[in-house]
């Protein structure tokens, strides 16, 4: 183990109780993505996050006030010609009281403990280690905490794009791959589409021939949509919701279905968009309308992303840690910055299990080393 890494790891180990106290305080602040009914919850969590940063490193945030979401926060640390941006969200998929914060053996359970409040505390204590150990990271570090990632980062994406455009690199403190702890050098993108079919109603017994069955047209289109899946290219299409008709004795004149699309290449996102919007009806007289577009573009394994991963490998080696990489099927804010051409590395948060599941937890014994990895890694960029 190299000398600086040993100093960082020893320091973090000596403050383990405080680190976990901060993490549990943040996790106990329930923070479902804001709706009109739970606005006070996300606001309270935002304040808890501000208080922890102020208490530990004396930094107050730049606040991006929002009406339809919780406030987004930016904490700036250090100076330098280059800027590295850390992105993490403090909203979760859990409503108030759905999950209990508890320890069982080597596992810490709680709402958002894995996804991804542990990542925010990792960022904070990396900066705290620099401050207390007198380590100059040699750059400005900007920690951006958004409140709406779990619902697509609708209000935070424009801010992320504006802040990231001049950054040397973007680090995403989302969870590592479940169980394995692998870093994420690529992520699939995804988009949603709605297909609406109009036919012609008629009496199913007296005038069956005079009707145009919208459900039949929908069934044919669903079969076609599923043929567009290409596993070799990492492209999948799945119809998850469909509906149509009113009564069994009426030939239905309306039907609708919704498609989830995932892709690992920008070219595939564009191809699927073109094919779906080119859909034509197969039944004479039926009409088909398609709405939707690619959402998050994929985070491709670009040369810049790979170069960042190689720096992380160096940091891991200095800490006597073995690291590996993977592609994730889900998206993150890293998709946005990577698609902008900015070197991005994801999965720098904790190691654990239960992403969006009731058994969400992190592995306690691997948490401190992962913070040390982040702190070491940032000095090498």
SS3 319: coil
Write out the residue limits of the CATH 3.40.630.10 domain(s) in the chain: 3-188+298-380
| CA atoms within 13 Å, Cβ hemisphere of 268 | 24
pLDDT, mean of residues 108-116: 98
Cβ pair 119, 55 in contact under 8 A? no
Domain topology for 3-188+298-380: Aminopeptidase (3.40.630)
d(CA 38, CA 334): 27
Write out the residue limits of the CATH 3.30.70.360 domain(s) in the chain: 189-296
Residue percentage of the chain with pLDDT more than 90? 99
| Structure confidence at residue 368 (pLDDT) | 98
d(CA 154, CA 40): 20
| Structure confidence at residue 20 (pLDDT) | 99
| Structure confidence at residue 8 (pLDDT) | 98
| Structure confidence at residue 97 (pLDDT) | 97
pLDDT tens, position by position, 24-57 = 999 999 999 999 999 999 999 999 999 999 999 9
| Structure confidence at residue 269 (pLDDT) | 96
Domain topology for 189-296: Alpha-Beta Plaits (3.30.70)
| Structure confidence at residue 151 (pLDDT) | 95
pLDDT tens, position by position, 62-73 = 999 999 999 999
pLDDT tens, position by position, 334-363 = 999 999 999 999 999 999 999 999 999 999
pLDDT, mean of residues 223-231: 98
Given its phi and psi angles, is residue 78 left (phi above 0), alpha (psi -120 to 50 degrees) or beta?
Answer: left
Give the residue with greater pLDDT, 182 vs 1: 182
| Structure confidence at residue 112 (pLDDT) | 98
Among 178, 176, 77, CA closest to 136: 77
Residue percentage of the chain with pLDDT more than 70? 100
């Amino acid at each position: 183990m190299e000398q600086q890494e040993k100093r960082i790891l020893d320091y973090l180990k000596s403050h383990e109780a405080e680190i976990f106290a901060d993490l549990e305080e943040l996790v106990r602040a329930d923070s479902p993505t804001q709706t009109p009914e739970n606005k006070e919850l996300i606001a309270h969590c935002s304040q808890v996050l501000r208080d922890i940063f102020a208490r530990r490193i004396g930094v107050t945030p730049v606040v991006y006030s929002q009406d339809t979401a919780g406030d987004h926060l930016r904490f700036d640390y250090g100076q330098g010609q280059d800027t590295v941006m850390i992105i993490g969200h403090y909203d979760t998929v859990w409503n108030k009281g759905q999950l209990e914060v508890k320890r069982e053996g080597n596992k810490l359970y709680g709402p958002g403990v894995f996804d991804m409040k542990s990542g925010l505390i990792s960022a904070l204590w990396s900066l705290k280690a620099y401050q207390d150990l007198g380590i100059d990271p040699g750059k400005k570090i900007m920690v951006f905490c958004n409140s709406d990632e779990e619902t697509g980062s609708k209000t935070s994406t424009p801010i992320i794009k504006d802040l990231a455009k001049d950054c040397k690199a973007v680090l995403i403190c989302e969870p590592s791959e479940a169980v394995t702890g692998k870093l994420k050098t690529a992520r699939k993108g995804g988009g949603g589409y709605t297909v609406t079919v109009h036919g012609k109603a008629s009496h199913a017994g007296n005038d069956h021939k005079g009707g145009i069955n919208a459900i039949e047209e929908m069934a044919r289109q669903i079969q076609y949509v599923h043929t567009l899946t290409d596993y070799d290219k990492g492209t999948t299409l799945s119809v998850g919701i469909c509906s149509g008709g009113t009564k069994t004795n009426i030939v239905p004149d309306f039907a609708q279905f919704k498609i989830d699309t995932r892709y690992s290449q920008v070219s595939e996102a564009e191809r699927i968009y073109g094919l779906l919007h080119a859909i034509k009806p197969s039944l004479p007289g039926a009409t088909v309308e398609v709405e939707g577009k690619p959402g998050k573009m994929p985070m491709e394994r670009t040369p810049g992303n790979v170069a960042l991963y190689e720096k992380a490998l160096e940091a891991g080696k200095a800490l006597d840690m073995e690291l590996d990489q993977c592609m994730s099927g889900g998206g993150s804010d890293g998709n946005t910055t990577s698609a902008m051409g900015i070197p991005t590395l994801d999965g720098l948060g904790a190691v654990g299990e239960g992403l969006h599941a009731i058994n969400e937890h992190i592995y306690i014994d691997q948490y401190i080393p992962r913070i040390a990895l982040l702190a070491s890694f940032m000095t090498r960029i």
